[in-house]
A = this chain, B = another copy of it.
């Protein structure tokens, strides 16, 4: 039995009339972006990535590879330099909409359509040199390597680096701000907020470094239909040198071996690093949104005048940017599954990774959005030092269970762990301050007779029991500030 949208509306409800209004005679996507079907095209679009990742950009990159080919042909004496120039001019004129029309109406083949669009714009002398010796994926894979690399180098990495800068600033600023350390959501032992941020300073730095490295390892190819240089061998003395020169025009190198396509691992590793960077940002976002919980209140997202936290609960201030980042991190995990599945292609290639592969650029859009959002939000993060102090003290010293155990053990107590545990239970039952219990216990005091002043000080003031937290925060800041440069 079919679901029936009419069931509640025999006599055309007002609600139904709204649905019908304008549904049929609407604009096209090329007239109204909100006709888009994908959120990366309306809600989460990144304009700075369109020059690399839009379909128009893809056309441009593919055209550039076609030109690199003919330009190299000229340099190798295979065609006159004027032909290369003529083709370059024609390549600039090619429009995606026309390529699509030709593909749809005539060739059913995207690259053949592109090549024909160029051919139609050049002289008969130049025509034979368009796309000569190339197979489609010489163009496509090379264009993808170049534009993913460019998108990473020119947009994604700079955005991540700026976000990293904000995290480093927070790490430094709060290097000494005490905070309770939390494991399993439970109060553990004290750290500093800067130390907590240093985790992300380090993980994000490493993720950036990975992404940067992987972007640099993307590879192109110019080795023909099955990768054996069959076509170029007909005309060129050293087809591998010719390939080297074509790719160099786009700042690329070839892989050690290719078939019709570049080995997929280059791109998959790159996308792994995209997912990984996203996971780090999402983890940071998760930490922040938990620290913003009503009961914890240690941080808060900035909240603008006029902003609504809820459409009905007027007091609400939600960690919407942290939640958004967390959500996009999930999506990157899902998308990477697609990338893993595309690691397989039959023989010298099949096309079963082609349609799915066209969505990979969206991963860069999501990651860029995450980086920007986190920078904006973390850059104005409201840190509530008073609440950090309050939370640190709420266990009335029970978080000192560890040093009491350790100092007892160090003083030779044979069952120090159990002794300390009993004291924490005693404190819990009596709702008394843990240190008061400890100080009163005759057995403990016997063992504690020889403590150093430092050790005694820590017992009395849990907030000093932060180990190297502050130093470590500063150390990581110094390390990352000098460690890497993104061009």
Contacts and interface: CB of A to CB of B under 8 A. Distances in A.
Nearest to A258: B199
A216 B3 contact: yes
Contacts of A345: 283
Nearest to A205: B256
Contact of A401 (B139, B313, B485): B313
A60 B23 contact: yes
Instruction: Please classify how large the interface on chain A is, using the bins under 10, 10 to 19, 20 to 34, 35 or more.
Output: 35 or more
A256 B479 contact: yes
Given A184-B289, A308-B108, A249 B34 contact: no
B336 A356 contact: no
B56 A26 contact: yes
Interface in A25-49: 26-46, 49
A60 B18 contact: yes
B294 A293 contact: no
Contacts of A17: 67, 88, 92
Interface string A318-353: 111001101111110111111011111111111111
B344 A328 contact: no
A363 B117 CA distance: 33
Contacts of A309: 109, 186
Interface string A230-268: 111111000110000001111110011101100101001
A476 interface: yes
A244 B317 CA distance: 31
19 contacts: A6-B251, A7-B251, A9-B249, A30-B31, A35-B55, A36-B54, A44-B355, A133-B406, A186-B293, A188-B225, A189-B224, A189-B226, A210-B265, A235-B406, A308-B421, A327-B351, A328-B356, A330-B338, A331-B356
